[in-house]
Amino acid sequence: MILDEVIVTETPPLNGCYGRRGRQVCVPITGNRAKRILHGVINVLTGTILLFVTEVWDAQTHQCFLQMIRAHWRGWRIILFEDRGTPHTAEDSMALAKAFGIQIRLLPRATPELNAMDHIFRFVKGRGLANRQTVSIDHSADAAARYLLEMSPQERLRKAGILSGNFWLTT
């Protein structure tokens, strides 16, 4: 399984915008800096995902997500690949993972190309959230999660690059 987080901001990414020729397009920006953290983990064998939305990303929220992972895949032997973010490498997080029987494998520094969830989140931000006006930060976080959950497991594996034939973690 591979785990990662993405920050969903109140101002969505703007990749393109249509407007009348010769007229400046008005893009509404609230000025708010609200954000939500979308935590996600994908099973590289089945394409099943588990998501969790929080207001902050710290060791406590990461440990809460570890509990969710253990409860969701109860009885599974879990090997979890994650980056070296501070909440992931916190002593309490590592101890909790060990207590839950979750083996942690830390990815090398500065290698987002190895993180399958990073690929999926990039796709979600570019397609699921971009170029849409934000109703609320919670609505945007829910929209991102819904976008992921509505994908088929096969589509998730494809978007993550797991089915490419060149995926670094082959079974």
**Which pLDDT value is given to residue 168?**
79
- Does residue 124 register a pLDDT over 60? yes
| Strands 102-106 vs 2-9: parallel, antiparallel or unpaired | unpaired
What CATH number is given for 2-14+29-159 in this structure? 3.30.420.10
Mean pLDDT value across residues 131-145: 79
Each residue's pLDDT tens digit, 82-107: 999 999 999 999 999 999 999 999 99
Q: What is the DSSP letter of 74?
A: T
Distance separating alpha carbons of residues 161 and 159, to the nearest angstrom: 5
Mean pLDDT value across residues 145-171: 87
Using alpha carbons, list the distances in angstroms from residue 160 to 32, 56, 117, 120, 122.
Answer: 31, 25, 6, 5, 10
pTM (global) more than 0.85: no
